[in-house]
Amino acid sequence: VDELAVSPAAHGRGLGRALLEAVTRDAPDARCWLLTSVRADAAVRFYERLGWRRVTHPAPDGYGTAVFLGPGHPARAAAVLPSL
């Protein structure tokens, strides 16, 4: 996923979930992953609610990129969860 955004006026209506599911539905072997800023708290919580697993550790300075594996990604079981 390169970029996903929903207008604040449309939040809470399931549009973000529908968009994310639509763009990842046909991924080979469910190998979906995405990136977001570790400081994008609402985005991080959104992806976690949808079953995406964060697989990167936060940078010591609190900045950086969070990498998430999709709910069906085969590497999820082997991913070491970061301590937040």
| Predicted pLDDT at 63 | 84
The pLDDT score that the predictor gives to residue 26 is: 93
Q: Which of 43, 39, 35, 41 is nearest to 16 (CA)?
A: 43
Q: Is the pLDDT of residue 34 over 70?
A: yes
Q: Per residue in 16-29, pLDDT tens?
A: 999 999 999 999 99
CA atoms of 53 and 50, how far apart (whole Å): 9
Average pLDDT of the chain is 87
CA distances from 63 to 4, 31, 38, 74, 83 (A): 20, 26, 6, 28, 15
Would you say 70 and 39 are in contact if contact means Cβ atoms under 8 Å apart? no
